[in-house]
Structure 1
Amino acid sequence: MNRKWASKTTFLSLALIMIISLLAACSKGSESTAEKHVLRLGVLYGGADNESYVRQQYTDTYEMMHKNIDFEIVSAIDYNEQRYDTPGPDGVTPQPDPFVKMKEMLTGDNPVDVVILDYSMLRRLIQDNLLQQLDPLIQKSKFDLTDYVPTVLDGIKSADDSNNIYALTPTFSSSALYYNKKLFADAGVELPVDGMTWEDVINKAKLVSSGEGTDRKFGLSINRWAGDGFSDIQTYSAPLQLKMWDDKGEKMLVNNEQWESVWNTVADLYKQKISPSQEDMSAWQQKVTTDNPGSYNPIGGDMFMNGKVAMTIGEYGYVNELSNTMNNASKIKNFNPFEWDVVTMPTQTSKPGIGGNIYFSQLMGINAKAQNADDAWDFIQFTNSAEWAEMKSRSTYELVARKEYLKPKNGMSYNIDAFTTLKPIPPQSTDTEKLMREKPGIWEAQSPGYELFQKVAKGEMSAKEALQEWETKGNAVLEKIKNNPTGNIDGGGKPMPLDDVAVDVKPVG
């Protein structure tokens, strides 16, 4: 037993030495006798119980190699404190404005040095001169970005009108179109390829769809959880950047030919049984339960994994779920494993090369008021280095931003370039973000769209009629908001918190 313990200890010591040696090359920080000091790292949301995660994820390795640095983790919004806030008379607990809290953290008496920020805030942080431009530091340090994934740099630069860099991220995630090779082979249809438009994908979906009732195989599910047609509309139209209301939030903009075309396209997928509705999924699940009483299906309502859908859009993390399911196929009753692969997200013909659903979860910038700007830049270089990417590529559920280390996981073979080829959708304008903060109740004007689309998908009304009605109901809501911009709207639910708003490029700060 002692020999085994000694062997394990020796192995761990050697492994630690190797990791330190590997990472030493990626930091230009000094190991000298410099005076020990604090580097303050700011995050948007956090709390005492979340600090250990932040340290493990971002700072522990750097701190181990830089004995003169102590990290202090600062949260703009402490969710532990929010637990004890008293709800208002309407039962709603007041929510702080995330941007205001972020700005306070950056401009207060003791500002943070490095900030892990939300991509939706990046444009305004730049415009309000709250972040340091990184281009001069990149040039001075000769920090090599030639191996950076182009879609990552494109997304970061698009947040600035001058196309400059104000933040970097070591990892990111995006979505792609997953497909079941067997269903295509059974239907005699050519496999999907990169660069397809929505029209191409829908045409293939029609060809591969077959069967009736609960035995039907569907061609396409725009989102993995079938039947959410309104979300399908948002995914399908994201590159078009259609607006629901004007920049002042005073008039609905949904009653036009562009919106009508989008609604007709998505609704037809349900009418023609190309995409499964909630009713289709419920009927199939009921049949499975009836045929196999008491059996357990660990992949539940995922119709793609269950071989009921030929194509679906999923995030990069879905690779792990598919791999685990196929590796454990023998444990799942009546499950037949299948070969799958991915291609790029479908694009709009009018917006070639632009895809959606790209997420930057670890954007790091330097506060314009940083007291330790040099150390802040050294830390950002360290976490965005090729050496760091090599190490993280083996342990992260996301994609690393260095192309050299973007490889399929666990010996699998799939088209990983599908996640990195398309350009991201440009971020929302500052005016739009400002409007959502000033009028949180504006999302009540979106609510009629959910129910009205279901009627269109079921053939109960035309898209044109539904959009006209949505325009009327939405305008009524917007009119009420003029007198009560931050409160609830009569006849509606609670305003949707800003953090729940879907945006084109989502990070986690």
Structure 2
Amino acid sequence: MIKKSVFSRPVIAMLTCMTLLTPLLAACTSNEPSEDQEERVLRIGTVYGSNDDTYFRQQYTDIFEVLNDNITIEIVPAVDQDQYQYFDYTKNEQPEQPDTLEAVKKLMTGENPVDVIVGDTSLLKSLIQENMLTQLDPLIAEDEFDTTDIVPTVLDGIKDMGDNNLYALTPTFSSSALFYNKAIFQKAGVEPPADGATWEDIFDLARRVTSGEGKDRVYGFSFSQYAGDPFYNVQMYAGPLQLRTFDDKAETMTVNNDSWERVWDTVATLARDKIVPGQEMFEYQTEQTEFNPFQGNMFMEGKLAMVVSDYSYVTRLINDNKYAETDDKFDPIDWDVVTPPVHQEKPGIGGSVYLSSLMAINSNAQNPEDAWEFIKFLNGEEWAKVKARSSYEMVSRKSYIQPKEGLDYNIAAFYTLKPIPPTSTDMNTLYQKMPNLWQVDSVGQKYFNEVVENKKTPKEALEAWEQDGNEMLQKLKTDPKASFEDKLGAN
């Protein structure tokens, strides 16, 4: 006769489960921390910084550290700006500017390299070319990290830096759009601008809606919110064409050609015909004696039909319109936006799109796993949802980009076009190595003003700039701090 067990079946089952769980419980209660809870350091490199890194931490790292309390984040700047507050400026000298690219490369190599590097498109393109960054595509695929919601402006712009591969991501970006005053177009009986318009389309519209004289003139278009130097307009207009002032080594001028001539002729004609506001607007503004909170803001004053401005201008317009509703002297502006104008030879590229907070993993990272987790979190949905209310930049995830304060405007205009691809030349480094290289641009400004004043044709002015510029570049090559007051003041 077989003796019956004292344990019932339910009890046996329970004991069996406890036996299986014992190793797991032991692991959970062990004094040894698990890999996920191990104390670790994540080093993040920035181009500029100081001992007070509060702003950067508030923007990017505080939330991550709260959610990962076993990870300590160190912010390491390539250039410590604190040093400049101790420089003796009374000697009429400027402190030596470091080569930022070389400074960043030092952060990424050596005995204690940073894990993450944060920078703009110019910097990261240079680092990609030197194989100093980890390609993110395999990590994105392995974790099935969703990039389909990242706006084309950002994603395509990043891919342009890495031969259609991703070496970085950015949680935010800034861009511009073409704002227009609906009432001015309605009064003129002219159809307002549309998405995808070329510069020629916009300049044609601008001529058709320009009206009035003197202080009552309504200008058709402006390259910025405020009346400025026409030479600045040249830079904005020529930017997407990627026309160069000089070669990669800043040794030879590259302005004496048909492309530059067309640019100068176009912008100078607009200024001469007063289709865009110029110096005369400063004179009218200084004549005003009554209080005007919108003084100088021509779009809000109703004296400007179209203007290219950045995303933060939306907040400014909203606030200005709220004030105008309380003051009988002013009328709120009925406005909307479309994509910035594009050049026919560069379709789909336009506007001032800035990817200034690109985050990449150092190929020499000591902690690449946490580096990827950090980048993944900052570019994920949770972070985008929290930061979507920013007034100055837009989050990169389209789902969280919405018009402000329930308004109905064409917000997609800010993220439809691609940014201008970065050049292979690090212009910042050139200007750092040659502190007075800016004077070459100033000579160009002088000659352009002569074109506006009909003292020279665009071709004559560009030839003169080429000649003076070449002489200046050769002198700067041997003396980077050479000064050229004679050329700046010559007529």
Q: What TM-score do the two structures reach when normalised by structure 2?
A: 0.88
The answer for the alignment partner of 2:396 in structure 1 is 401
Distance 1:446 1:193, change over 3 A: same
Aligned to 1:187: 188
- Alpha-carbon contact 1:214-1:283 (below 8 Å) kept: no
Contact 1:125 1:131 (8 Å CA) reproduced? yes
CA distance in 2, matches of 1:168, 1:419: 18
My pick for the range that moved more, 432-441 or 413-422, is 432-441
Q: CA deviation at 1:33?
A: 6.1
Whichever residue aligns with residue 69 of structure 1, its letter is I
Corresponding residue of 2:121: 119
Q: Does residue 45 of structure 1 match 2:53? A: no
Counterparts of 2:85 and 2:287, CA distance in 1: 43
Q: Secondary structure at 1:299's aligned position in 2?
A: coil
The match for 1:488 among 463, 482, 485 is 482
Q: Residue 221 of structure 2: SS of its match in structure 1? A: strand
Give 1:200-349 correspondences, 5 Å limit: 200-279=201-280, 281-289=281-289, 292=290, 295=291, 297-332=292-327, 334-349=329-344
Paired residue for 1:36, among 36, 39, 54? 39
Shift of 1:320: 0.6
Query: In the alignment, what sits opposite 2:377?
Result: 382
The answer to whether the 8 A contact 1:172-1:361 is kept is: yes
Q: Does 1:76 align with 2:41?
A: no
Q: In 2, Cα distance between the equivalents of 1:141 and 1:300?
A: 53
CA contact (8 A) 2:99 2:433 kept: no
Checking the alignment, whether the CA contact within 8 Å between 1:444 and 1:493 is kept in structure 2 is no
Does the CA contact (< 8 Å) of 1:156 and 1:168 recur in 2? yes
Per the alignment, do residues 369 and 492 of structure 1 end up closer, same or farther by CA in structure 2, a change over 3 Å counting?
farther
Q: What is the DSSP-based 3-state SS (H/G/I as helix, E as strand, rest coil) of the residue aligned with 1:40?
A: strand
Q: Which amino acid aligns with 2:266?
A: T
Residues 205-248 of structure 1: CA deviation (Å, up to 9, x unaligned): 00100011111101001122213211111111112111212334
1:59 corresponds, among 58, 61, 69, to: 61
Distance 1:408 1:118, change over 3 A: same
| Matching residue's letter, 1:385 | G
Distance 2:270 2:106 in 1: 47
- Structural mapping, 1:363-378, within 5 Å: 363-378=358-373
Cα distance in 2 between the residues matched to 1:492 and 1:164: 48
1:16 corresponds to which residue?
none
Matched residues in 1 for 2:176 and 2:139: separation?
Answer: 32
Q: Are the counterparts in 1 of residues 437 and 476 from structure 2 also a CA contact under 8 Å?
A: yes
Contact kept in structure 2, 1:232 and 1:266, CA below 8 Å: yes
Which digits, 9 at most, give the CA deviation of each residue in 1:458-504, with x for residues without a partner? Answer: 223222221121112111102212322x323343799xxxxxxxxxx
Q: Which structure is larger by alpha-carbon Rg, 1 or 2?
A: 2
Q: Aligned partners of 1:382 and 1:493: how far apart in 2?
A: 53
Aligned residue for 2:341, secondary structure, equals coil
**Paired residues of 1:88 and 1:94 also in contact (CA < 8 A):** no
Match of 2:412 in 1: 417
Q: In structure 2, do the counterparts of structure 1 residues 348 and 120 end up closer, same or farther at CA, with 3 Å as the change threshold?
A: same
Task: Name the counterpart of 1:351.
Answer: 346
Q: What's 1:139 paired with? A: 141
Secondary structure at 1:38 match in 2: strand
**C-alpha root-mean-square deviation of aligned residues, in Å?**
2.2
Q: Secondary structure at the match of 1:129?
A: coil
Partner residue, 1:154: 156
Per-residue displacement from partner, 1:81-106 (whole Å, max 9, x unpaired)? 22224569771211111111111111
Structure 2 contact 248–425 (Cα < 8 Å) conserved: no
For 1:244, the aligned partner's letter is T
May I ask how many residue pairs the two structures share in their alignment?
Answer: 456
Name the CA shift for 1:368/1:87 in 2 (closer, same or farther; >3 Å): farther
Question: Would you say the 8 A contact 1:126–1:166 is kept in 2?
Answer: yes
SS state of the match for residue 75, structure 1? strand
Secondary structure of 1:44's match? strand
One-letter code of the match for 1:398? E
The answer to whether the Cα contact below 8 Å between 1:445 and 1:475 also exists between their aligned partners in 2 is: no
In the alignment, what sits opposite 1:506? none
The 1-side partners of 2:66 and 2:419 are apart by 36
CA contact (8 A) 1:38 1:71 kept: yes
The structure-2 alpha-carbon separation of the partners of 1:433 and 1:44, relative to structure 1 and needing over 3 Å to count, comes to closer
- Cα distance in 1 between the residues matched to 2:357 and 2:93: 34
Query: Identity of aligned pairs, percent?
Result: 50
* Cα distance in 1 for residues equivalent to 2:270 and 2:157: 31
Query: Counterparts of 1:385 and 1:43 in 2: how far apart (Å)?
Result: 21
Larger mean Cα displacement after TM superposition, 425-434 or 212-221 = 425-434
CA contact (8 A) 2:45 2:114 kept: yes
5+ residue gaps in structure 2?
A: 1-32
For 1:437 and 1:464, locate their aligned partners in 2 and report how far apart those are by CA, in whole Å.
30
